[in-house]
Chain A
């Protein structure tokens, strides 16, 4: 089946620093990747939609200058949290759509836990 990986799985950083999270589709090419944020015991909140070779589409209320998304290839999307602050601490999850076949199914990465001190 379609596999999506994320790296790192867990990161701790100091306030004011930037953190990059990678999302990779391992066995398929993903034209579209999605980034979600999940607070403890809550549902997933879509942050942005990332299309290969074009600018990401951000959901309302998500700061595009704070959460930089790059989808440089069909297998890699990155989320960079710039100038991170404690309120950015959260669980970040990416997903990818596999074109053709089960086009409308999203496969999820294992998530990245970000803690900002």
Chain B
């Protein structure tokens, strides 16, 4: 079974600064997908970024980028120029490859990020 670990329960950073959220995972699969989801106070889960394990290039989405280290099984999220709207719970998630529609997500315990004005 896969496990996802987020070792930082809470973090805070000043607005406009850069912050990195950590995530490690354990799997015996060689191909898989990794995600970061954001859950703001509204509790709507929002996809932040997605990484395919077979791709060596780190995914980026505007101010969000990942550092994917496959050998180390590490998948950290960097938020640059942080904004007040980035305040949310962030979940790292793992998914095995497509399996006839049964693609389960395994979530970490989350990191609560607060952006300080």
Contact = CB atoms under 8 A, between A and B. Distances in A.
Given A93-B45, A105-B50, A110-B42, A46 B108 contact: no
Contact of B91 (A31, A44, A57, A97): A44
Is chain A's interface secondary structure helix, strand, loop, or mixed overall? strand
Interface size class of B (residues with CB under 8 A): 20 to 34
Contacts of B26: none
A108 B44 contact: yes
A110 B101 contact: no
A97 B103 contact: yes
Interface residues of A, number: 25
B54 interface: no
A93 B37 CA distance: 14
Interface in A58-114: 91, 93, 95, 97, 99, 102-108, 110-111
Contacts of A31: 101
Nearest to A54: B101
B60 to A, nearest CB: 16
A108 B50 contact: no
Interface in B91-107: 91, 95, 97-98, 101-105, 107
B67 to A, nearest CB: 20
Interface of B: 33, 35, 37, 42-47, 50, 91, 95, 97-98, 101-105, 107-110
Closest 9 CB pairs of A and B: A108-B45, A32-B101, A43-B107, A110-B44, A104-B33, A43-B109, A111-B43, A31-B101, A44-B107
